[in-house]
Amino acid sequence: MINRSDVEAAWARIKTHVRRTPVMELQAGTFGAPCPVAVKLEQLQVSGTFKGRGAHHKILTSTVPASGVIAASGGNHGAAVAYAARALGHKAEIFVPTIASPAKVARLKSYGATVTQVGTLYVEAREASEKRAAETGALTVHAYEDPGVFAGAGTVALEFAEQSKFDTLLVAVGGGGLIAGCAAALGGLTKIVAIETEGTPTLFEARKAGKPVQVAISGVAADALGASLIGTPNFELAQKYVAEAFLVTDDAVRAAQKALWDELRVIAEPSGATSLAALMSGAYKPAAGERVGILICGANTELSAIPQ
């Protein structure tokens, strides 16, 4: 199980390779929230999501063969791996499911990656990537079930805590890499709350069962939060440090996307708006005087997809 010192070490390694993303301090009443809100615009990170942090850290701390790196992704992790590989001088091969958005596939290709679309779900793309990695010997950069990846992801929480003061951090969850990293970075110091959509309840159902369990994946955020099973080391960190987990509807996510655009002119993909959706919809109700931090973790979508 990684801890804060591991995340701090990851930060020292990657900080010259990634962006320091800005934070907006918003007064109570913004987005209808009853409390002040600090919003970290991590969707401005290289490749459009927080995943650039974990991808850089994994590649920087690994021996990469001539065949390069390989990854399976709903799109965002693949883009991060492709970007990091190109920046660090390696080849990249990325497998994505057919539900990956055209914007994400286009971004992958713009970074020079070889892209294969296969299967309708992330798990099918992952199986195909593992078969290909066995053939080529390429380094696999797992989307979330890798301590090197989520130590890198957790650097966003350290950076956020340095930039702003908040009591509670709302974090969107897919396979659990981001929340595992945030838990390792701030667990025991800050209340960590997991937010998922009703169609992607991976951690929510694991907490109910007391162990990772397979879940059916559907809905507006399925391409990014679509892991059907939370990673085991991720779940262990979540069990230790995540205080609560809540689900939001697809309609709440769309409303949060629209609010971010209307209020701040910020573009967020559905997964990127999921944590805000919990606050706006009342799924998460802050206590009196509580200050909430929200990660807007991804923006890989077309402007035309933002609800008007």
pLDDT at site 140: 96
Identify the domain boundary among 84, 119, 140: 140
Question: Quick check: is 198 in a domain?
Answer: yes
Predicted local distance difference test score (pLDDT) of residue 138: 97
- Indicate which CATH number applies to the domain containing 269: 3.40.50.1100
145 domain residue, yes or no = no
Domain count, the chain: 2
**Which of 140, 160, 191 finishes a domain?**
140
Do 63 and 46 belong together in one domain?
Answer: no
Q: Are residues 173 and 263 in the same domain?
A: yes
Alpha carbon distance 112, 258 (integer Å)? 32
Q: In what order do the strands lie in the sheet with 23-26?
A: 23-26, 37-40, 292-295, 168-172, 191-197, 242-248
- The three state secondary structure string of the chain is CCCHHHHHHHHHHHCCCCCCCCEEEECCCHHHCCCCEEEECHHHCHHHECHHHHHHHHHHCCCCCCCCEEEECCCHHHHHHHHHHHHHCCCEEEEECCCCCHHHHHHHHHCCCEEEECCCCHHHHHHHHHHHHHHHCCEECCCCCCHHHHHHHCHHHHHHHHHCCCCEEEEECCCCHHHHHHHHHHECCEEEEEEEECCCCHHHHHHHHCCCCCCCCCCCCHHHHCCCCCCHHHHHHHHHHEEEEEEECHHHHHHHHHHHHHHHCCCCCHHHHHHHHHHHHCCCCCCCCCCEEEECCECCCCHHHCCC
Domain that holds residue 8: 4-50+150-305
119 shares a domain with 100 = yes
Neighbour tally for 250: CB within 10 Å: 17
**Per-residue tens of pLDDT for the chain, all 308 residues:** 899 999 999 999 999 999 999 999 999 999 999 899 999 999 999 989 999 999 999 999 999 999 999 999 877 889 999 999 999 999 999 999 898 888 888 888 999 999 999 998 888 999 999 999 999 999 999 988 899 999 999 999 999 999 999 999 999 999 899 999 999 999 999 999 999 999 999 999 999 999 999 999 999 998 888 788 998 999 999 999 999 999 999 999 999 999 999 999 999 999 999 999 999 999 999 999 999 999 999 987 777 777 76
Q: Does the residue 132 lie in any domain?
A: yes
Q: Do residues 87 and 227 both lie within one domain?
A: no
- 196 and 130 in a single domain? The answer is no
* Whether residue 293 sits in one domain with residue 233: yes
- What is the chain's Cα-based Rg? 18
Question: Burial, 162: exposed, middle or buried (Cβ in 10 Å; 0-12, 13-18, 19+)?
Answer: exposed
Whole-prediction pTM: 0.92
Q: Judge if 75 and 37 occupy the same domain.
A: no
Query: Which amino acid, residue 94?
Result: I
Cβ–Cβ < 8 Å for 246, 173: no
- 94 assigned to some structural domain: yes
Task: Give the domain-ending residue among 140, 166, 187.
Answer: 140
pLDDT of residue 62: 97
In a domain, 296, yes or no: yes
Whether residue 160 is contained in a domain is answered as: yes
Does one domain contain both 34 and 67? no
**Domain assignment present for 59:** yes
- According to the model, what pLDDT value does residue 306 have? 73
**Are 129 and 181 found together in one domain?**
no
Phi then psi dihedrals of residue 63, to 5 deg:
-90, 115
Same domain, yes or no, for 80 and 198? no
- Say if 263 falls within a structural domain: yes
Are the CB atoms for 33 and 292 separated by under 8 Å? yes
Output the CA torsion 198→203→205→207 (10° steps): -140
Residues 134 and 187 in one domain: no
Note whether 232 and 159 are same-domain residues. yes
